[in-house]
Amino acid sequence: MTVTGIPLSEAAKGSVLEISGMSVQGVMRRRLLDLGFVPGNTVEVLRRSPLGDPTAFRVSNTTIALRREESSLIFGNPIGGNGR
Amino acid sequence: MKPYTVAFAGNPNTGKSTLFNLLTGMRQHTGNWAGKTVVTAEGTFTHNGKEYRAVDLPGTYSLYSNSVDEEAARDYIIFEQPDVTLVVLDATSLERNLNLALQVLEITGRAAICINLIDEARRLGIDIDLKAISERLGVPVIAISARNRTGIKELLNQVERVAEGTFVAEPLRIQYSEEIERGIAELLPLVEQAVGGDYPARWIALRLLDGDESLLASLRKASLGIRVSVPKEVSGHGATACH
């Protein structure tokens, strides 16, 4: 599967992305899907912790914090928001 | 007569504990802390003269264990086999919540779906077709507002039907891709031989294909006769990589 877009870990704070896919396998993939990181879903980058990791994302009406470890493996295409 | 056991499953923040508290009132054995159910609360309630034991499982997004909470919820449903698993969903965010409902229904048909916060959803202009959801899932679906105490009687009537076995559904069978179905077909006889008829064999076969190590560990314990159940106290070490 070819995944387009930028990793969520690189997305600017405040930006909104449409999830295009992820390169995680196994139980972690399943879990991320269960949390709402489903292709086609929109995700907003809410805020980063002072040290840059983890980052809080808003997906399916819920705030979920992910570490770079995971967020760098989820890809999305920016569709707006007030990110720079 | 032994009381029926009702396990409450649901995503965090669906009002699951509000409903639990409303039904069990002061008749709880253990407390739980606001916002974070880290202790499995147990209580009793009666409906139509029949006693029920209510078990509040930890709030989870999924039964595919990645944390102590999710394993606890999953193990309870599989190994303790409650008479009814009541899946509490948030009416304002059904899309994600139904995911957990599907996972529960793949394990057991002895379930009912409770759509909470229906008043909130109506205010937001969300219209929910209960009949359609019930038909697709094959189990009773009831809309309630735990906060305003609406729909509770109807909910308990449906819980009673499932508990008494007047209503029994087959576990929901999701048709997977040919490759996965082939794998299930190969594993199924072996799983049935290993675990007997007590556990949902198709579901276990699916998890084996997933390579779910923690389920294997729980199964091993169960087969050795070690009681697998919800830890009474889940301490803070259930931290996961995410969330």
In a domain, B216, yes or no: yes
Report, as an integer, the average pLDDT of B175-180.
94
Residue B243: pLDDT over 60:
no
Mean pLDDT (whole number) for B136-149? 95
Q: Are residues B71 and B25 in the same domain?
A: yes
> How high is the pLDDT of residue B67?
78
Q: Which CATH number goes with the domain that contains B66?
A: 3.40.50.300
On whether residue B145 sits in a domain, the answer given is yes
Q: Which residue of A has its CA nearest to B94?
A: A60
- Spell out the domains of chain A, with CATH numbers in brackets: 6-78 (2.30.30.90)
The verdict on B101 and B188 lying in the same domain is no
Q: Looking at the domain assignment, is residue B243 inside a domain?
A: no
Q: How distant is the Cα of A24 from the closest Cα of chain B, in angstroms?
A: 13
- B39 with B109, same domain: the answer is yes
Question: Do the domain assignments include residue B169?
Answer: no
Domain match, B196 and B114 both: no
B146 and B72, same structural domain? yes
A60–B95: do the CB atoms touch at under 8 Å? yes
Boundary residue ending a domain (B121, B138, B164): B164
Is the domain of B205 the same as that of B125? Answer: no
For B77, other C-beta atoms within 10 Å of its C-beta total 23
Partners of residue B124 in chain A, C-beta under 8 Å: none
Same domain for B126 and B189, yes or no, is no
> How many inter-chain contacts (A to B, CB under 8 Å) are there?
52
**Res B7: pLDDT:** 96
By residue range, what is the domain housing residue B184?
178-224
| pLDDT tens-digit series, residues B206-238 | 989 988 888 888 888 877 766 655 444 443 333
Mean pLDDT over each residue of chain A, to the nearest integer: 89
B240, part of any domain:
no
Q: Among all chains, which residue has been given the structure tokens 């959803």? A: B121
- Please report whether residue B95 resides in a domain: yes
Q: Is A74 on the interface with B (CB under 8 A)?
A: no
Q: Clarify whether residues B151 and B80 are in a common domain.
A: yes
* Distance separating alpha carbons of residues B98 and B96, to the nearest angstrom: 6
Q: Which residue has the higher pLDDT, A2 or B175?
A: B175
Beta bridge partners of B143: B115
What confidence tens digit (pLDDT) does each residue in B48-84 have? 999 999 999 988 888 876 777 888 889 899 988 999 9
Number of domains in chain B: 2
pLDDT above 80 for B157: yes
Is the ipTM above a cut-off of 0.90? no
Q: How far is B204 from chain A (nearest CA, A)?
A: 15
Could you tell me if B27 and B75 lie in one domain?
yes
The confidence band for A47, taking pLDDT boundaries of 50, 70 and 90, is: very high
Mean pLDDT of A54-75: 93
Whether B230 is covered by a domain: the verdict is no
Give the mean pLDDT of B2-23.
92
Q: Please provide the average confidence, as pLDDT, over all residues in chain B.
A: 85
Q: Indicate whether B204 belongs to any domain.
A: yes
pLDDT at B143: 97
Give the torsion through C-alpha atoms of A12, A14, A18, A20, to 10 deg.
30
The residue-averaged pLDDT of B150-156 equals 97
- The alpha helices in A1-84, defined as continuous H runs, are 26-35, 68-71
Chain A positions in Cβ-Cβ contact with residue B10 (cut-off 8 Å): none
Whether the per-residue pLDDT at B30 is higher than 60: the answer is: no
Q: How far apart are CA B44 and CA B68, in angstroms?
A: 25
Residues B193 and B150 in one domain: no
Give dist(CA B5, CA A81) in Å, integer. 47
